[in-house]
Amino acid sequence: MVAGVALLRAPDDAGLRQIVDEMQALRARMLALIDEDVAAFGRVVDARRRTDAARAGAVGEALLGATQVPLELASASARVLEQCAAVLPAARPSTVADLGVAAALAAAALEGAALTVRANLEGLPASAFVAESRNRLAEWLRAAAALRARLPRAREESTP
């Protein structure tokens, strides 16, 4: 929304147009990930209920899928934070608080996805996927912390 408002004031700004377009696509993708995460969790539950010899393999496969969805959400959330920082210089003063809200929500989504990824990785055997997932997650979390430091945040007001 903040980039869209800024774009109204600068309709020829190709950079703002690109941010608006990317954020609309990310919004749609992140909403779709909600349903994908529910389905992935359902597959984990179903696999854990199995009692046959293929249970362990089914659980591992289901956990792999249930890890990929929040990994994608973490990536998308990190990208939203990057774009919040990119649009800050062009943000109208009346929308800076909205930008801070977007950044706070993106950071929360990244943190939530990280918790889910880490929990799921614990159930998977050591592999290149597990190591790479942990590394990517750590990188996104480090970058997010640096970006949050540059973006508007709520501060406790001091009382007189």
What residues does each domain of the chain span? 2-150
Spatial contact of 116 and 40, defined as CB atoms under 8 Å apart: no
Q: What is the pLDDT of residues 81-127, one digit of tens each?
A: 999 999 998 888 888 889 999 999 999 999 999 999 999 999 999 99
Given a cut of 60, whether residue 157 has pLDDT beyond it is no
CA angle 122, 123, 125 (to 5 degrees): 90
Spatial contact of 72 and 122, defined as CB atoms under 8 Å apart: no
Give CA 84 to chain center in angstroms: 13
The type of residue at 142 is R
Give CA 78 to chain center in angstroms: 5
| Domain 2-150 = CATH 3.90.180.10 | no
Q: What proportion of the chain, given as a percentage, has pLDDT over 70?
A: 96
Note the pLDDT of residue 154: 66
Which pLDDT band holds residue 43 (cuts at 50, 70, 90)?
A: very high
* Burial class of residue 58 in the structure, from the number of CB atoms within 10 Å of its CB (0-12 exposed, 13-18 middle, 19+ buried): middle
Whole-angstrom Cα distance, residue 1 to residue 92? 11
Phi, psi (5° rounding) for residue 108?
Answer: -65, -40
Q: What proportion of the chain, given as a percentage, has pLDDT over 90?
A: 74
Note the pLDDT of residue 91: 87
Spatial contact of 37 and 73, defined as CB atoms under 8 Å apart: yes
Note the pLDDT of residue 7: 80
Q: Nearest CA to 91 among 17, 12, 16?
A: 16
